[in-house]
Homo-oligomer: A and B are copies of this chain.
Amino acid sequence: MLENANFSGVIAPVLTPFGEDGAPDPDRFIEHAEWLMGDGGCTGLAPFGTTSEANSLGIDERMDLLEELVESGMEPLSLMPGTGTTSLSDTITLTQHAIDLGCGGVLMLPPFYYKDPSEEGLFTYFAEVIDEIADDNLRVYLYHIPQVAGVGFSVDLVARLRGEFPETVVGLKDSSGDWSNMKAILDRLPGFELFTGSELYLLDTLRHGGAGTISAAANINGPMLRRLFEECEEPGAEALQERVSAFRRALQPYPTIPVLKAIVAHYRNDPAWAVLRPPNLALEPDRAAEAIRELADRDDFRLDFPETA
């Protein structure tokens, strides 16, 4: 396992709740974040990931919500907000804002509108962001999710950025679902904080020197993930990984964000939690009930949300 890591363990891409007016709801957001960092089992939080519907939020909404979270007393060093947009200037704005708030790191998508950008173009983009921020406290985690963003990071580009900015480009979230890509990065860049986006590879990641997982499921299944992280060198680790994987497979037939929100809404007894912002839509009630029933019937899993209502 990694020493002196800025982040390690189980990081949740925090779900974003919406209020009755359709705006992000800071109270529900903070409540969920606090639960995640306590009984929820997480070691850190990545607000504004894909699971957070970050790209469905406005630039101002993202900054407002992050400020509210920090003002609520959440330790900013535990936060790795997503700040990567299609736009160099908006990305700089969000990154500067996160650094000003004292966040421990930022999770950065590549600029993802133009497809097939050159490696030189992507390198130049990140170099300009880093040079513009010009702050020793900046810790950039690259966010590789090519099947959604449509633009990813080649291993060569990751190595080049790491080589050019060794104190700043410190890690990567790999949501490709491709273990061979994660392994190639781990083999090539010892000490680099690789987080698997799929907990199916959590044990493999940790055994190859990776830092942990940033996974959608950490919004509801953090305690089990945390236990695997803590006990990864113990004899029962494989069996624990199998339980973690079984849980993920149980969720996989459902669209990720809608099913997670349906589950939180159910266990918190708070229907507002089930709402997504278009183009994403809430799960139909029948499907939501089915997912909740299936998970409740499992022996190996119990959700333990505090009820709000």
Contact = CB atoms under 8 A, between A and B. Distances in A.
A236 interface: no
Nearest to A120: B281
Copies in the complex: 2
A241 to B, nearest CB: 29
Contact of A281 (B90, B115, B124, B149): B124
B149 A88 contact: no
Interface string A110-149: 1111110110111011001000000000000000000111
A112 B113 contact: yes
A88 B118 contact: no
A56 interface: yes
A93 B279 contact: no
Contact of A87 (B57, B118, B124, B125): B57
Contacts of A147: 115
Given A121-B281, A279-B111, A58 B86 contact: no
Contacts of A61: 89
B110 A279 contact: yes
A277 interface: yes
B56 A280 contact: no
Nearest to A125: B278
18 contacts: A22-B128, A55-B86, A56-B87, A56-B88, A58-B89, A58-B93, A59-B87, A110-B279, A111-B278, A114-B280, A115-B147, A115-B148, A115-B150, A117-B279, A117-B280, A118-B279, A120-B281, A121-B281
